[in-house]
Every structure is written in C-alpha cells, then in structure tokens.
Amino acid sequence: MDPLKALADAERKPYWLDSPAKPEPLPRLLKDTTADLAVVGGGFSGLWAALMAKERDPSLNVVLLEGRGIGWAASGRNGGFAVASLTHGLANGLERWPEEITTLERLGRANLDEIGEAVGRYGIDCAYERTGELHVATEPWQLDEMRESVQAARELGLGYDVLDRDEVRAEVNSPTYVGGYWERDGCAMIDPARLAWGLRRACLELGVRVYENTPVRHIRDSRATMDLVTPRGTVRAAKVALGTGVFQPLLRRLKHFLVPVYDYALMTEPLSEEQLASVGWRNRQGVGDSANQFHYYRLTADNRILWGGYDAVYYNGGRIKPEYEQRDETFAKLAEHFFTTFPQLDGVRFTHRWGGVIDTCSRFSAFYGHAHGGRLAYAVGYTGLGVAATRFGANVMLDLLAGEPTERTELRMVREKPIPFPPEPVRSAGIQMTRWSLARADLHEGRRNLWLRTLDRMGLGFDS
Ligand SMILES: Cc1cc2nc3c(=O)[nH]c(=O)nc-3n(C[C@H](O)[C@H](O)[C@H](O)COP(=O)(O)OP(=O)(O)OC[C@H]3O[C@@H](n4cnc5c(N)ncnc54)[C@H](O)[C@@H]3O)c2cc1C
C-alpha cells in the first residue's frame, strides 16, 4: 500500500491523550493562597516532585500549578519508553562522567524500580510492562558501535544479551535487521498519559492542591516568600520546584541552555492476531534502531504499533508553536520507513499522527540547580529521554530545596551545567549544520565529518 494512503485517515492528535480515561480538568486558581512548596508544571517532573514531597513529609502544604492540562505536553504524548538510564544512554554517560557511571546506573535502575513500585502502590493503570529494550542494527557499521556498548555494559556488570541476525529477527521479524542486543532490565513500557493522570490522582489523594489552566506569569522574590503570580491569584510559597520543561523559563538563565526540538510519531490500528504473528514480538520489548537518525517503536496494550523518531526538527528561531506539532513531510517519511521495516504489514493503517516538543540541551541529559538562596530548584534538559529520569530529577529538586547534601546532589552530573547554546542566528545555523552532518554520517557508514568531530571534542552535540 502507498504509505500516504495508510496515513490518509490518521487523526492529527496524540494517540495517548485521545482516551476515554482522560479526567476532567481541575479548577484554575481563583484567589491568593500560601504553600510550603509550589510546584510549577504538570508533566512528569512536576507531578513526581509534588507527590514525593508529600511522601517525604505528609504535613507539607503543596500546590501544583499547571498552565494548561496535566500531561498535555511531552509527558502525555511520548513513546512511553521508561528508560533506566539517567544519562541519555550508557555511552553518553560514560563519555561525560566515567568515574561515576556505576553509581549513575545503579541510581537509574533503582529509580525505575521505584516507578514500578509507585505504579503498584497507587494502583495506576498505565499498562506498565518491564519488557526491556531491543537495540537493533540495520547496517553492518552499526554493529561495531554496538559491540563497544555491549563490552562497556559487561564491564559494569550490566546484562545485555547480544543477538545475531537470526536471533534478533526471531524476537522481532524485520528483513532490515542485521543484529542487535536486548537490554532486558533497563526499560519499561508505559502508557504515558495514563501515568500522568494516575500521578495526578495520587497527588490529590495525598492532599496536593492541583490547579490546571493556571499559568505562572512570573515569580517575585519578596524575601519572606517566593510569590508565583498567575492570572487570578498569587501563591506565596516558602519554596518552589520548577518542572516547566522546554517552555518559557521562569528563571531567565535557563534559556541559554535549552532549545525546543520537535519529535514526531505515528500510531497504527490494532494488529490482528495473524499480523502480530507475522512480526513475532512475543516479548513485547521496546525497539530502537541505531543510526544517528533513529526510530523507536513499541506495542500498545491492544497491539497497535507506535512508530516514532527519525527527524528531530529545530525550527529556526527556536519558537514553540501548535502548528509545529504536525509535519506531513516527516509523517510520510515515517510511514515509508514503517513498511520498509515491516513489509508483511502491508495494508495496516495509521489512526493517529502527532508531534511534540522536547527540551534539548547540549549534554543530552538533564541538568539541575537552584536559585534565590536555595528556595527555588529546577531540573530540565531531558532531551527526549525523560519519562523515567524526571522522577530522579524531581528527587534532586527536593534534595536541593531541603539543603542537605545527598548521594544525588553530590554527583558531578548534578553539580555541573551543560555548555550553553550560542545566541541566534548562530544557534540555528549551528544546529542545522549538525542535523545535516548527522544525516550524512548515516549515509556514509557512520563516518563523522570535521564539524561533528569538533563538536565531539568539545563535548557538544544535538540529539533527541
Ligand atoms: C514525541 C515525543 C516522544 C518521546 N518519547 C520518549 C520516550 O519514549 N521515552 C522517554 O524517556 N522520553 C520521551 N520523550 C521525552 C519525555 O516525554 C520528556 O522528557 C518528559 O515528559 C519531560 O517531562 P517534563 O515534566 O519535564 O516536561 P513536560 O511534559 O513538557 O511538562 C512541562 C509542563 O510545565 C507546564 N508549564 C510550563 N511553564 C509553565 C508555567 N509558567 N506555568 C504553569 N505551567 C507551566 C507545561 O504546560 C507542561 O505541562 C518524548 C517526547 C516527545 C515529545
């Protein structure tokens, strides 16, 4: 089937958010109030921060302010890969923080375990499945890089199962695969919107006051309190946690470190039993391929395939606009790649197509900090891998606000900041040059040109 025909009836909205489980919005803040802790942002960062603040101290007066609806942004529209890595993958972590990678991997796995425990404890129905991730190579040159990753993982005692061509195809049947490895323990699949809505319910049950459609316009430091000004009321809070992702930062300095990058995805209709049998996929792993421009894909509870990634688009000027959430050129490419990967699924149709914005920083993994004499903390910059890591980041924010050093706050990863992006128009020119170079490297057996090698040496880059 022509890929465009398969897309013809796809709705232009995120599949996960288009669900009967979506709760009614909570009322907006209509008058002034006070709080011990005000959390800004109702994505995973803010939700975990509010929830865990109450878990740490049930008597704390916690308010969460969300500018639109809980989980409407990246948190409710992502691939749903809850990955243990806190460093956007082992290779990036090893490159940047080799001396603490063992600790970072241990903390990342504990964080993922604790997400599973919280899902169970609060009875959150988010189709949580700890299936691990299958990393597949589609070109021989990718196998060399894979061997390095597997070797490094083994030295750290992490169990990665190497699969040859036939073994990987026995897991998931695609004629494009030439090998791969299965990281069995490092990833869980979730329905992200249901996780966000479940966390909202858990917050309410513990007594967090959640206000939706309540954007914080600015924060004033009045010495006695931090005053969060919203259209209809001000919250006077002792402390503030910012989980505002890539949006206009309430702390000006953050804008130098973050760029909005759009990532796109498709969802198929549910596969029939015969269609699913033709792909295999009995172990239901999340799958990622291994070029610089990579795809990620997975099954849903009702056996649809979510298929996303490849193009990571930076729109010159770095604006965030609703119209950027749809990009037909990218959807057509994704649909074509889907049928190249699974020719046996010819005839399957897509029901949803959407995009979303991620908070990219130059080190690809979140950075953390505080301001206003330790009364405001932030964690941002997850660069497309924040489903699980945001919970770690929320814990770091609470640690920083408590003012007591912890294992987390002592990490070099937590203390250091990424290199800032240059101002526009150099920023756009540099990012587009990098995107072009990465696409070329994929066409030339992974060979990195002078531009990429220079960025590598500076510890800079662009990813999603
Ligand atoms: C298409 C796509 C696929 C992805 N796939 C994956 C994946 O499979 N695995 C993975 O790990 N990661 C993935 N990610 C990234 C992941 O979704 C994010 O890293 C994570 O959700 C970030 O959560 P957050 O809470 O920090 O930010 P967000 O979810 O963006 O939430 C920030 C919230 O803050 C609110 N806000 C901002 N400013 C204000 C203000 N002034 N006042 C009030 N509220 C405010 C916003 O309205 C928003 O709701 C993907 C992202 C996208 C877009």
Report the C-alpha gap between 248 and 134 in whole angstroms. 35
Q: Higher-confidence residue: 1 or 70?
A: 70
Q: For position 158, what pLDDT does the model report? A: 85
φ and ψ of 110, to 5 deg: -60, -40
**Predicted confidence band at 102 (pLDDT cuts at 50, 70, 90)?**
very high
Q: Is the CB of 263 under 6 A from ligand 1?
A: yes
For residue 357, the ligand 1 atom closest to its alpha carbon is: 53
Report the C-alpha gap between 393 and 199 in whole angstroms. 16
**Those residues with Cβ within 8 angstroms of residue 435's Cβ, 6 or more apart along the chain or in another chain:** 312, 314, 462
**Alpha carbon nearest to ligand 1 atom 53, residue:** 356
Q: Range with the lowest mean pLDDT among 220-229, 361-370, 429-438, 452-461?
A: 452-461
Tokens, residue 21: 């489980």
CB 310 within 8 Å of CB 294: yes
**Considering Cα of 341, then 342, then 348, then 351, what sign does the dihedral take?**
negative
Report the C-alpha gap between 424 and 440 in whole angstroms. 24
pLDDT, tens digit (0-9, with 9 covering 90-100), for 196-246: 999 999 999 999 999 999 999 999 999 999 999 999 999 999 999 999 999
Report the C-alpha gap between 159 and 182 in whole angstroms. 9
- In this structure, the number of other CB atoms found within 10 A of the CB of residue 451 comes to 15
pLDDT > 70 fraction of the chain, expressed in percent and rounded: 100
Q: Is the CB of 463 under 6 A from ligand 1?
A: no
- Orientation angle between helical segments 101-121 and 389-402, nearest 10 degrees: 100
| Residue 106 confidence (pLDDT) above 90 | yes
**Predicted confidence band at 331 (pLDDT cuts at 50, 70, 90)?**
very high
Report the C-alpha gap between 8 and 457 in whole angstroms. 45
CB 241 within 8 Å of CB 46: yes
Nearest of 156, 155, 158, 157 to residue 133 by alpha carbon: 158
Amino acid at 268: T
| Residue 399 confidence (pLDDT) above 80 | yes
Q: For position 184, what pLDDT does the model report? A: 92
Question: What residues pair up with 350 in beta bridges, in sequence order?
Answer: 268
* Backbone region of residue 161 per phi and psi (left: phi > 0; alpha: psi in -120 to 50; beta: other values): beta
Question: What residues pair up with 370 in beta bridges, in sequence order?
Answer: 377
Q: For position 456, what pLDDT does the model report? A: 83
| Residue 1 confidence (pLDDT) above 80 | no
Tell me how far the alpha carbon of residue 379 lies from the centroid of ligand 1, in angstroms.
12
pLDDT, tens digit (0-9, with 9 covering 90-100), for 31-84: 999 999 999 999 999 999 999 999 999 999 999 999 999 999 999 999 999 999
Average pLDDT, integer, range 390-395: 98
**Predicted confidence band at 247 (pLDDT cuts at 50, 70, 90)?**
very high
Residue of 85, 325, 358 with the most ligand 1 atoms within 8 Å of its CB, for mutation: 358
**Alpha carbon nearest to ligand 1 atom 10, residue:** 385
For residue 214, the ligand 1 atom closest to its alpha carbon is: 43
Q: Is the CB of 390 under 6 A from ligand 1?
A: yes
Q: For position 440, what pLDDT does the model report? A: 87
Q: Is the CB of 39 under 6 A from ligand 1?
A: no
Whole-number mean pLDDT of the chain?
A: 95
pLDDT, tens digit (0-9, with 9 covering 90-100), for 341-360: 999 999 999 999 999 999 99
**Alpha carbon nearest to ligand 1 atom 26, residue:** 245
Q: Higher-confidence residue: 321 or 149?
A: 321
Enclosing H/E stretch for 103: helix 101-121
Q: Higher-confidence residue: 179 or 2?
A: 179
φ and ψ of 300, to 5 deg: -100, 175
Report the C-alpha gap between 199 and 52 in whole angstroms. 11
Average pLDDT, integer, range 308-331: 94
Q: For position 435, what pLDDT does the model report? A: 87
Tell me how far the alpha carbon of residue 350 lies from the centroid of ligand 1, in angstroms.
24
Report the C-alpha gap between 33 and 49 in whole angstroms. 19
| Residue 20 confidence (pLDDT) above 90 | yes
* Backbone region of residue 280 per phi and psi (left: phi > 0; alpha: psi in -120 to 50; beta: other values): left
φ and ψ of 246, to 5 deg: -90, 0
Average pLDDT, integer, range 382-410: 97
For residue 296, the ligand 1 atom closest to its alpha carbon is: 8
CB 357 within 8 Å of CB 261: yes
pLDDT, tens digit (0-9, with 9 covering 90-100), for 257-299: 999 999 999 999 999 999 999 999 999 999 999 888 899 999 9
How would DSSP label each residue in 146-187? HHHHHHHHHHTT--EEEE-HHHHHHHB--TT--EEEEESSSE
pLDDT > 90 fraction of the chain, expressed in percent and rounded: 83
CB 200 within 8 Å of CB 23: yes
Q: For position 464, what pLDDT does the model report? A: 77
**Predicted confidence band at 148 (pLDDT cuts at 50, 70, 90)?**
confident
Nearest of 117, 199, 99, 161 to residue 411 by alpha carbon: 99
